[in-house]
Structure 1
Amino acid sequence: MSDPEYRHVAALGSSFASGPGIEPIEDRAARRSARNYPHLLAETLGAALTDLTVAGATTATIIDTPQRSLLRKFPPQLDGLPGIADLVTITAGGNDLNYIGAMTRLAFAARLAGNALTRPLSSLLSRVGVPTPSPDEVELAAANLVRIVEAVTKRAAGARVVLVDYLTVIGEHTTTSGETPFPASTLDMLRRLGDTVSEVFTLAAGRTSATLVPMRELSASHALGSADPWVTGMPARLRDLAGCAPFHPKANGMRAVAAAIVDRLRE
Structure 2
Amino acid sequence: MAAGPGIKPKARGAPFGSGRSAANYPHLVAQRLGLVLVDVTFSGATTAHVLRDEQRGAPPQVQALDGSEYLVTVTIGGNDVGYVPYLMAAGLPRFASSIPVLGRAVREMLDPANRDAALAEVGASLRAVGQEVRRRAPQARVLFVDYLTLLPPVGSPAAPLSPAEADTGRRIADTLERLTATAAAETGCEVVAAADASRGHHAWSAHPWTTRPGLPLPGRAAPLHPNAAGMRAVADLIVDGIG
TM-score by length of 1: 0.81
Counterpart residue number, 1:218: 197
Give me the whole-angstrom Cα distance separating, in 2, the residues matched to 1:206 and 1:42. 24
Structure-to-structure mapping, 1:46-125, within 5 angstroms: 46-68=34-56, 73-107=57-91, 109-110=92-93, 113=95, 120-121=98-99, 124=104
Match of 2:138 in 1: 157
1:148 to 129, 132, 135: 129
2:211–2:223 Cα contact (<8 Å) kept:
yes
Kindly state the Cα deviation for residue 241 of structure 1 after the two structures are TM-superposed. 3.2
Identify if the C-alpha distance between structure 1 residues 217 and 192 changes in structure 2 by more than 3 Å, giving closer, same or farther.
same
* Unmatched tracts of structure 1, length 5 or more: 1-15
The answer (yes or no) to whether the contact 1:103–1:130 under 8 Å persists in 2 is no
- Contact kept? 2:47, 2:125, Cα under 8 Å: yes
From the superposition, tell whether residues 263 and 130 of structure 1 become closer, same or farther in structure 2 (CA, over 3 Å): farther
Alignment counterpart, residue 161 of structure 2, candidates 182, 188, 204: 182
1:130–1:251: structure 2 CA closer, same or farther, 3 Å change rule? Answer: farther
Equivalent residue for 2:224?
A: 247
Residues 139-148 or 80-89, more deviating: 139-148
Cα pair 1:139 1:200 within 8 Å, conserved: no
Q: Any runs of at least 4 consecutive aligned residues in structure 1 with deviations exceeding 6 A, and if so which?
A: none
Cα distance between partner residues in 2 of 1:152 and 1:248: 25
- Does residue 138 (structure 1) correspond to residue 119 (structure 2)? The answer is yes
1:142-182: CA deviation from partner (whole Å, max 9, x where unpaired): 222222222222222211100000000012064133xxx11
1:45-76 Cα offsets, whole Å, 9 max, x none, are: 011100011111000110011123xxxx1110
Give, in whole Å, the separation in 2 of the partners of 1:176 and 1:158.
43
Corresponding residue for residue 265 of structure 1? 242
1:206 equivalenced with 2:182 (yes/no) = no
Q: CA deviation at 1:139?
A: 4.9
- Give the corresponding residue for 2:17: 29
1:127 maps onto 2:103 in alignment: no
Identity %: 38
**Distance change (3 Å), C-alpha of 1:119 and 1:80:** closer
CA distance in 2, matches of 1:130, 1:41: 38
8 A contact 1:138–1:200 mirrored in 2:
no
CA distance in 2, matches of 1:209, 1:119: 43
**3-state SS of paired residue (1:97):** coil
Q: How many residues align structurally?
A: 234
Q: 2: CA distance between counterparts of 1:125 and 1:242?
A: 25
Report the more deviating stretch, 46-55 or 181-190.
Answer: 181-190
Structure 2 unpaired stretches of 5+: none
Q: Which segment is superposed worse, 137-146 or 44-53? A: 137-146
Tell me by how many angstroms 1:130 deviates: 5.2
Query: Would the alpha carbon gap of residues 139 and 189 (structure 1) be closer, same or farther in structure 2, given more than 3 Å must change?
Result: closer
